[in-house]
Amino acid sequence: MPATAERSQCLIGGKWVDVDAARYADVWNPSTGETISQTPMCSAADVDRAVQSALRVFPAWRETPIVDRARIMFKFHSLLLAHSDEIARIVSLEHGKTFSESKASVTRGIEMVEYACSLPALIYGDVMHNIASGVDSETIRYPLGVVAGITPFNFPAMVPLWMYPMAITCGNCFILKPSPRVPLSSIRIAELLVEAGLPEGVFSVVHGDKECVDAILTHPDIRAVSFVGSTQVAKYIYQTGTANGKRVQAAGGAKNHIIVMPDAEMSPAVTGLLHSAFGCSGERCMAGSLAVAVGDRGDEVVDRLCDAANKIVVGRTDTRDDVTMGPVISKQHADNIQKHIDTAEKEGARIAVDGRGVAPSDAPGGFFVGPTVVDQVTPKMRISRDEVFGPVLSVARAKTLEDAIELGNQCPYGNGAVIFTQSGRAAREFKHRFNAGMIGINVGVPAPMAWFPFTGWNQSFFGDLHIQGKEGMQFYTQQRMIMTRWFEPEHVDRHDPVWRPGHK
């Protein structure tokens, strides 16, 4: 199916099919504002078709040796590498990331496939001999059955790859519902997974909005749901899914703090702030959106940030590779970001760099917000608490590290937090006391690689087992504990040397 097909199809039973949808959502090119495709809003019946197809093939897939399942992932990995530039171009087209950002996100997704290929060395259980007299005990991991993933618009290639390679290699069947705003890269990657030799029905793709989501959350034969998105929706996903007897891992939003200590090396600190706040146009849950300058270097931090932010080249990403920041996902989102900036200004903050009204000459219809630096932010301002999810960096001041940590610990979220310092003692205090699940020390974006879990805390995550790493494998499997005792048969001649302990 071409990347810019008029309407996206669903993958059900190993076949690309058109669904008889009553509603469709437009897919835009954010660089121009033009409609490039349409996404069908699937019904509960469409979801059920995918589930029934998965249920038919699950017994055989579950019994497929894990080394054979992993070999399919190896083929998939090779195809992803061969088509990584193509996939990145699709991501840039439908989402608006720069090509380098899109390519990096595809690479991070491929790393998760590599990790899934290593599952035969990870999924084995434990054995203890003679745990009691004559009794041995062991654990074995089994797949759950049919599981599902609901993924966001901001990383249309990477986030789905966080989920289904692991789930499928564990022996499950997987149903993916990508964001209706960015279905094209998910579809192209799914084509490659089919090409890798995955049996029909093991992997499905459906599309839609709340109706489709609710069908997934309430379907009695879907055992687990993975989700990444906003906190409000994550909470709903978790509550509804668990109420219907499912395992749920639901990653939500964030307000990530970056503390700059007086002894920080300023050049790498500013570079880290810049990449964290404005990379991917700020549309990521690991974006550093609140810088906290400790001591008397606040003005220097702001001046350097302003100088660097003013050098960022904003422009269309569908045809140009020379820009360093692209558009945001939609006009509605661009308007919402600008309202956050308006509110901050009304509440007394100083707009040190203003990204409102940015319109590249070659893309007047695009959804653009330029890099924005908001200075003199206080805890009472909305922008210090709300997730803006755009290229807006707020700057607050704190007298001491203690004050900075206390400010952060008042935040209801808990995805990531960063400190820039040369003090081992300050770093140690920070990493043990800041109320967030992913900590960076002189690292602007402490997003874990595939081998480690994405460990959001508080209102940034709902569930027990996180996405990625060993926890990802644990989420998609269930353990069985087996205790074994063998009795000596009564009819055996105990004097027969064959049955004597130690007989050779």
CA distances from 62 to 3, 145, 395 (A): 32, 8, 52
Partners of 350 in the β-ladder:
375
Kind of pairing between the strands at 438-441 and 416-420: parallel
Q: Which two tokens stand for residue 318?
A: 């569908």
Contact partners, residue 462, CB within 8 Å, separation at least 6: 234, 235, 237, 238, 248, 249, 250, 252
CA-wise closest residue to 316 among 491, 120, 97: 97
Q: Which of 405, 349, 352 is nearest to 378 (CA)?
A: 349
> How far apart are alpha carbons 125 and 104 in whole angstroms?
34
Angle at alpha carbon of residue 272, lines to 452 and 155, rounded to 5°:
50
- In sequence order, what DSSP letters do the residues of 303-363 get, joined into one string? HHHHHHHTT--B--SSS-SS-SB---S-HHHHHHHHHHHHHHHHTT-EEEE--TT---TT-
**CB within 8 Å of 100: residues ≥ 6 apart:** 321
- The residue type found at 503 is H
Q: Which two tokens stand for residue 231?
A: 């906190």
Look-up of token digits 């058109």:
18
Residue 3 CB neighbour total at 10 angstroms:
16
Helix (H) or strand (E) segment spanning residue 103: helix 99-117
- Six-digit token pair at 440? 């960076």
Residues 6+ apart with CB under 8 A from 192: 76, 79, 80, 83
Q: What is the largest CA-CA distance in the chain?
A: 97
Hunting for tokens 């599902």 — which residue is that?
148
**393, 373 Cβ separation under 8 angstroms:** yes
Alpha helices in 279-316 (DSSP H): 298-309
- Which of 314, 251, 301 has the alpha carbon at shortest distance from 272? 301
Q: Residue 147 contacts by C-beta under 8 Å, 6 or more apart in sequence? A: 167, 172, 173, 174, 175, 222, 223, 224, 225, 226, 476
Tell me the catalytic residues: 285
